């Protein structure tokens, strides 16, 4: 399940990058040198991409744990044997 955790980590990293871009944009806006359009577009792309990758990692982790639980179980369990020998 290491690749799934890698996806989750990359999603978190992308979201942190979006936060850094947001702080950088805010500082540029306060100083009056903000580039219109570019920063809001990049911020939204990185933030949405990060959230999507983290969500994909969480769902993948959940499915991986379900698979590891199910693969070690028999297909059916005989609760009671009602066969009578003559």
Can you give the pLDDT of all 86 residues of the chain as single tens digits? Answer: 588 889 899 999 999 999 998 998 889 888 888 777 888 888 889 999 999 999 999 999 999 888 888 877 777 777 777 777 76
Beta carbons within 8 Å of 29's beta carbon, 6+ residues apart: none
pLDDT of residue 1: 59
pLDDT in the model for residue 51: 94
Contact status, residue 57 vs residue 1, Cβ threshold 8 Å: no
The pLDDT, as a whole number, for residue 23 is 92
Closest CA to 35 of 56, 43, 66, 63: 43
pLDDT score recorded for residue 28: 87
pTM of the entire predicted model:
0.70
């Amino acid at each position: 399940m290491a690749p799934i955790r890698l996806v989750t980590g990359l999603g978190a990293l992308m979201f942190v990058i979006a936060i850094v871009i947001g702080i950088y944009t805010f500082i540029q806006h306060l100083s009056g040198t903000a580039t219109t359009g570019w920063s809001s577009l990049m911020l939204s792309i990185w933030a949405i991409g990060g959230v999507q990758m983290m969500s994909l990692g969480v769902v993948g982790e959940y499915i991986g744990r379900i698979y590891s639980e199910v693969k070690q179980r028999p297909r059916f369990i005989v609760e009671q044997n009602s066969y009578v020998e003559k």
